[in-house]
Structure 1
Amino acid sequence: MRRVDRTGPASRRSPLYPSRSPHPPPSQPPHHPKCLMGAAGVRRADKGKMLLKVKIANVQKFVRVPEPNLTAFLDAAFTKFGVPAVTEGVRVLDSSGTELDEDVFEDVVKDPQTGVLTITYDTGNVESFSSPGPCASSPSSGDSQDTIILPVSPASKRQRLDDEAKHLVKDILSKKPGGERVIMEYNRTKSLADDTRKKMVNILAADMTEKNGTSPPRRVKEKYARGIVSLFPHLWDPFSENGHEHYYDGKSDSGYLAWRLKYIQRCNAQERKSIEASSTEGMSGDELLGGPTARRESQYLPEPPMSEEECREAMSLMKHSSDENTLSSNILSHFPRFKDVKGLIEQDFVLMFGEDVSGKFLEKWPTMFKEKIIKQCRKLPSTTELNDLLLAADPQEDDADGADFGWDSDFASILLLLHLVPPTAQGRKKPGKMSASQAEKHLVVFKKSGTSIEEHLDTITSSTQPYLLAVGTQRNRISQYFIILDKTAIPCMSNSSLSSFDELFKAHFVFGTSYHTMLYNMYTFIQTTIYNIDVGKVRERPRIAEIRARLLH
């Protein structure tokens, strides 16, 4: 925006001009001695003044210009329209959209072919002005003192809020220790490493509490979150409503900023309790306890299959079953063909969502996600398990023989996603925090060729969520995949690892069973980001939205 300095009062003026036609008689008294910007041709009025057409928002008027001067023109135009004087962000455009500067203004307005001159500016603090009535855009309409609301488009308002939030975050990071490194890393990589993201969140949360206390209003937290994705657009999540919900979601009070603020609040509360405890030694422990502290983890339960002639009985059973643990086993006992007829899971999933949705994983994973996931995982802290998966997913030429007996490239890339969106800590619940390598055992189990499938099923002592049983000579040479569900082995259609995982994911929907807790984040990412199923209807951890933003930009 170009700042235009003008003389004259900055307060609102009341343009109480008498009604007149576009060509007033010479006897009419002159108007405010300021200059006005015009369009649609230049007309000479009495006493050497020019008559120009000016447009602000959707209202257009004739304006008298005593002399071709940009500063005077703006003062006169704002006076004519009843708009308070604006000193910043003002732009004057001709009919072609070209901006006019002071040095060319006189030459342009003297050209009869100039056209309508449009004035634009930040409307954040200016909401109304005098209007000539319903025929404002007509050159022959007379002046009136009716007041209308200056239309501010949602896009303009959003842009203004984005700019304010962007400058706020940029100013904080530029002044706080470590903030410049955040900006430099993003400018270099168009992304933020996990440690850098944590540093940025800590800086912004500290600034927020310094200015607003430990419980900032929702609008403040939303402004900081908006500022992050405005300053760093590649962190914007295209699948969420505003793009910044993984930093702060006002509806659920969650996100990285919200979590950091809650941590600060807990630390302050513990400090207060410690101080109170030192002065209340005679009180019992129960009297110092607060309310309940247990936290619940909500899980998404997929919808049962769509009704179809051959599946109506299964649908009825799924609808009336109240125990999810016995639901899938009941289905398999009533419809044993799932155990020996390949392709029924795929068939039922297509009935639920259609062929386009059904084919998205096999279409998108190799072309859009696999290489990006490998690239992102190279930035994670190094571990033996992670390095083995990276080597398997992207083998070098001298390792082409697979001497490490790792998984094949496709399946290794799926397991890398598990490291990228790892299991969420369960707090006080068992089993507590679990690593991605531990969670892998709930996704796939490898057995050597020749192993009895029945013996493996007999070792299962409790009901489990669906997982893959891979049978082969080694992990990257699998001859058969099975989906294990409630001590039942369902053969997969293909011996391809990618197709078998695709079928495993779909089995959750076909049999109406929830995701395993340790695999919830990974499955939810695949469900919403790749299959685009129930976007916005399931609860996503901020980590899911953060990784999605990295991969889709």
Structure 2
Amino acid sequence: MGSSAAKEVIERSLVEDILEEYRGENSLSHRTRRQLVNILASDMTERHGRFPSRQQKEKYALGIITVFPSLKDPFSPKGYVNQDFLLLFGAETATKLLEKWDTSFKPKVIKEAKQLTPSTDLCHLLKAAEKLAENDDNDWDSDMASVLLLLHLLPPSAGRKRRTKISPRDAADKMVHFHKSCCSIDEHLQERDGKPYILAVGRTQSRIDTFYIAVDKQLIPCQATSSLGAFDELFKSHYAFNLNYDESLVHFYSFVQTTIFNIDATSTDESPRVRELRATILNENNV
């Protein structure tokens, strides 16, 4: 569909004051952006159902950046990853991880991880998450360390194709991989499968220069500059590209999906461990 037709799809869904604000300011306030996203998400759901096709989502995304060109994600060829997720679930859902992780989830994940059987990896992650490490270049920053602690709390599943479970360290590498900036990225990509993961490029793990989402041996630069922002984009990329979770990370991603983003919480098939951890965390001071 061309730009003109896509533009018409958007314009018929908008109230005039949103268009007037953009014409006057060449931008939209945070409040108006939320209003815009909620209007379009409601319109798309009404017209195409709960799970619109990729073609339908792309039509709306193209319409947005045609009517509001200054809102296009400059780091994405089409500006779709965040826009796809916003259109599917609305602004309130899309911001949950970034708004709630530090205050509502991170402290409780650290508390639960302290009850696990200690290992070298776990101890390093706990120190990094609590910012107790002495600038160890081999440690992740506090946010990424706490996300990886969640992975330890939800051990990787064996998967239908595996007879044995993989270790949390191997599972973590399927979610985020550190790559030294002096080494060839192309060689690394050729050795990986098509499931999305974060490729963190820098001199050391504690000094990352750029985050990418790697999928199907291609790199998409993250709009975010923080590790938590990169993880937020990684999770959303599964919806933007209609991809299943990696088999070894199903429990981990299911928890993020249902407990943090509250997406399909009552209809998703979850393991007892996911349900148990959700109950523990949400019942403590009511997240």
Tell me the TM-score normalized by structure 1. Answer: 0.38
**Aligned Cα root-mean-square deviation (Å):** 2.4
2:183 is aligned, of 447, 451, 455, to: 451
Greater share of helix: 2
Kept in 1: contact 2:75–2:223 (CA 8 A): no
The structural deviation recorded for 1:459 is: 3.4
Q: Secondary structure at the match of 1:307?
A: helix
Question: Does 1:382 pair with 2:118?
Answer: yes
Question: Does 1:405 pair with 2:155?
Answer: no
Say which is worse superposed, 505-514 or 476-485, in terms of deviation: 476-485
Question: Does 1:541 pair with 2:271?
Answer: yes
State the match for 1:349 in structure 2.
85
- Cα distance in 2 for partners of 1:343, 1:481 equals 16
- Cα distance in 1 for partners of 2:259, 2:52 equals 18
Question: Does 1:501 pair with 2:234?
Answer: no
The structural deviation recorded for 1:311 is: 5.2
**Aligned partner letter, 1:432:** T
State the match for 2:167 in structure 1.
435
Kept in 2: contact 1:464–1:485 (CA 8 A): yes
Kept in 1: contact 2:151–2:252 (CA 8 A): yes
Kept in 2: contact 1:304–1:512 (CA 8 A): no
The structural deviation recorded for 1:487 is: 1.0
Kept in 1: contact 2:176–2:200 (CA 8 A): yes
Structure 1 residues 346 and 540: alpha-carbon distance in aligned structure 2, compared to 1, 3 A threshold: same
State the match for 1:480 in structure 2.
210
Matches within 5 A, 1:264-303: none
**Aligned partner letter, 1:366:** D
Q: Secondary structure at the match of 2:125?
A: helix
- Cα distance in 1 for partners of 2:211, 2:129 equals 19
Could you list the per-position Cα deviations for residues 345-398 of structure 1 after superposition, in whole angstroms to 9, with x for gaps in the alignment?
1112111111111101101111100011001000000111111111111122xx
The structural deviation recorded for 1:424 is: 2.2
Matches within 5 A, 1:224-373: 304-305=53-54, 307=57, 309=59, 340-341=76-77, 343-373=79-109
Q: Secondary structure at the match of 2:201?
A: strand
Q: Secondary structure at the match of 1:381?
A: coil
- Cα distance in 2 for partners of 1:356, 1:410 equals 22
Structure 1 residues 370 and 394: alpha-carbon distance in aligned structure 2, compared to 1, 3 A threshold: same
2:155 is aligned, of 418, 422, 441, to: 422
- Cα distance in 2 for partners of 1:408, 1:509 equals 26
Structure 1 residues 340 and 359: alpha-carbon distance in aligned structure 2, compared to 1, 3 A threshold: closer
1:529 is aligned, of 233, 253, 259, to: 259
Report the identity percentage: 45
- Cα distance in 1 for partners of 2:163, 2:52 equals 27
Kept in 2: contact 1:466–1:504 (CA 8 A): yes
Question: Does 1:519 pair with 2:252?
Answer: no
State the match for 1:464 in structure 2.
194
The structural deviation recorded for 1:342 is: 7.9
The structural deviation recorded for 1:343 is: 4.7
Kept in 1: contact 2:61–2:79 (CA 8 A): no
Kept in 2: contact 1:405–1:475 (CA 8 A): yes
Could you list the per-position Cα deviations for residues 327-355 of structure 1 after superposition, in whole angstroms to 9, with x for gaps in the alignment?
xxxxxxxxxx9985485311121111111
Could you list the per-position Cα deviations for residues 262-305 of structure 1 after superposition, in whole angstroms to 9, with x for gaps in the alignment?
xxxxxxxxxxxxxxxxxxxxxxxxxxxxxxxxxxxxxxxx8755
Kept in 1: contact 2:137–2:206 (CA 8 A): no
**Aligned partner letter, 2:113:** C
Number of residue pairs the alignment of both structures matches: 223
Q: Secondary structure at the match of 2:276?
A: helix
Q: Secondary structure at the match of 1:380?
A: coil
- Cα distance in 2 for partners of 1:412, 1:304 equals 35
Structure 1 residues 495 and 339: alpha-carbon distance in aligned structure 2, compared to 1, 3 A threshold: closer
Q: Secondary structure at the match of 2:210?
A: strand
The structural deviation recorded for 1:426 is: 3.8
- Cα distance in 1 for partners of 2:110, 2:179 equals 26
The structural deviation recorded for 1:458 is: 3.3
- Cα distance in 2 for partners of 1:309, 1:419 equals 39
Gaps of at least 5 residues in structure 2 are 1-50, 63-72
Kept in 1: contact 2:178–2:200 (CA 8 A): yes
Tell me the TM-score normalized by structure 2. Answer: 0.72
Rg larger for: 1
Gaps of at least 5 residues in structure 1 are 1-301, 313-336
- Cα distance in 1 for partners of 2:58, 2:108 equals 39
- Cα distance in 1 for partners of 2:263, 2:146 equals 22
Could you list the per-position Cα deviations for residues 171-230 of structure 1 after superposition, in whole angstroms to 9, with x for gaps in the alignment?
xxxxxxxxxxxxxxxxxxxxxxxxxxxxxxxxxxxxxxxxxxxxxxxxxxxxxxxxxxxx
